[in-house]
Amino acid sequence: LGAWWSRSSSAGPSHWKELKATCGGDKQSPVNIDRRRLQRDGGLGDILFEGYDQAPPGKWRLTNNGHTVMLNLASESAFEHITISGGGLPGRYRAIQLHFHWGSPAGNGSEHTLDGHQLPMELHIVHMNVKYRTLAEAKGHPNGLAVLGFFYQVSETPNTNYNTIVAGLRNVSHAGES
């Protein structure tokens, strides 16, 4: 499945505002994190993680949506189990899904960049404000979603925390498979 845009093409992110004006704002993706310009805001406090220390019981669904592999966390057992709050968030947010952005041996694949450089992989954990009942409802509010992003480097040492997900990848090698 090929991408319909690239960072350097005339259909890249810098041209999206030509298609829709709101895409030219300062809260758009992808984002370049420039470490020289970062400033810590001590008033935000720490992000509080609940339920991240172990997987809740029940089954989750791993799906290839044609763009990436997504793990749906919105099962009944996980519904209120995995949450974040604090860190400047206006309430409590429950994890509903996670997905990956990865590249190939020929190139890195993170969605966002660090100091102008893509990294091999990026994980997004999507959280929904607990005051909303559905993803559609949450998307309609500026405080509806909170996404945590994590960059990854290639390592020769396997991370066994991902064994279950990695084992499931062989079952979702084609778009639409779950």
Catalytic machinery residues: 67, 132
Cis-peptide into 30, omega within 30 deg: yes
Contact at 8 Å (CB) between 95 and 75?
A: no
Residue type at 30 in one-letter notation: P
Instruction: Give the residue carrying structure tokens 């190139």.
Output: 107
Cα angle for residues 128, 163, 103 (degrees, 5° grid): 70
**Residue 132: closest CA among 63, 79, 56:** 79
Cβ-Cβ contacts under 8 Å for 125 (sequence gap 6 or more):
95, 97, 98, 147, 148, 150
90 half-sphere exposure, CB direction, 13 A CA radius:
7
Contact at 8 Å (CB) between 111 and 30?
A: yes
**Maximum C-alpha span of the chain:** 46
